[in-house]
């Protein structure tokens, strides 16, 4: 990533935290490198000790610990005021593909509960229509049956692996089928249909529209809300 783009993300993190975080909030923390900028920015907040955070992965939890943030019990998820998160792709109608870091299930739980959602992403993530695979979290027992069903609906699933071919296992003990579709004309419908396959724990299509704000970091070092 260029240093100008890093500058832009740094600036937008400052703006987003200043604009959206208020004392005594319950704050959901999405995962990934861009969300980590937000968490680092939160370290400097005067009201830091009044906030309670709910992390979506060990990666962001470790960042939050470094920033001196406090954590809420997962029972507080219905009280989440705001979630900050990144995205892998955002299409022209603001549907998103998420789960590149494997935290999609917990991110979906938080995003679907939060009063407000703030998405932070660099300009390369904003596309007219999706052009990357959809991460689909699947129970290990359903790895072949769910893959077969995904093929039947036109997908080309591939199990995500680590170096040397070991399966990538999510923090929930599941696997991820990164699934290519030639096109996704109706992401909302696709999200529901794919979620209906037995063994699918969560789908990396995020189609929530209300109270979602998008920040775009630009490679000239500036940012905008879109």
Residues marked active site are found at 107
Residue 155 interacts with ligand 5RP (CB under 6 A)?
Answer: no
**Least distance in Å: CB of 24 to ligand 5RP?**
26
CA distance 226 to 129: 16
Residue 55 interacts with ligand 5RP (CB under 6 A)?
Answer: no
**Measuring CA to CA, which residue among 106, 102, 108, 97 is closest to residue 176?**
102
Burial class (CB in 10 A: 0-12, 13-18, 19+), 44: exposed
Residue 63 interacts with ligand 5RP (CB under 6 A)?
Answer: no
The nearer residue to ligand 5RP, 63 or 85, going by C-beta atoms, is 85
The one among 12, 16, 29, 34 contacting ligand 5RP by CB under 6 A: 34
CA distance 62 to 12: 22
**Least distance in Å: CB of 5 to ligand 5RP?**
11
The one among 41, 63, 88, 91 contacting ligand 5RP by CB under 6 A: 88
- Reduced to 3 DSSP states, what percent helix, strand and coil does the chain have, rounded to the nearest 5? 40, 25, 35
The nearer residue to ligand 5RP, 25 or 57, going by C-beta atoms, is 57
- Sign of CA pseudo-dihedral 163, 30, 205, 88: negative
> What residues line the site for ligand 5RP (CB under 6 A)?
30-35, 85-88, 98-104, 107
């Amino acid at each position: 990533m260029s240093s100008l783009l890093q500058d832009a993300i740094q600036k937008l993190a400052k703006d987003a935290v200043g604009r959206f975080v208020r004392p005594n909030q319950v704050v959901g923390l999405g995962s990934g490198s861009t969300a980590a900028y937000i968490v680092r920015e939160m370290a400097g907040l005067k009201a830091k000790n009044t906030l309670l955070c709910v992390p979506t992965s060990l990666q962001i939890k470790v960042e939050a610990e470094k920033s001196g943030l406090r954590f809420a019990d997962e029972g507080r998820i219905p009280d989440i005021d705001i979630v900050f998160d990144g995205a892998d792709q955002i299409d022209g109608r603001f549907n998103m593909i998420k789960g590149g870091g494997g935290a999609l299930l917990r991110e979906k739980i938080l995003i679907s509960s939060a009063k407000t959602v703030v998405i932070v992403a660099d300009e390369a993530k904003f596309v007219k229509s999706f052009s990357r695979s959809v991460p689909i979290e699947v129970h290990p027992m359903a790895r072949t049956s769910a893959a077969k069903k995904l093929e039947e609906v036109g997908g080309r699933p591939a199990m995500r692996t680590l170096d040397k071919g070991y399966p990538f296992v999510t923090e929930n003990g599941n696997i991820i089928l990164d699934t290519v579709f030639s096109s996704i004309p109706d992401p909302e419908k696709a999200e529901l249909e794919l979620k209906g396959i037995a063994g699918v724990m969560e789908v990396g299509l995020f189609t929530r529209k209300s109270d979602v704000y998008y920040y775009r970091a630009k490679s000239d070092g500036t940012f905008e809300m879109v």
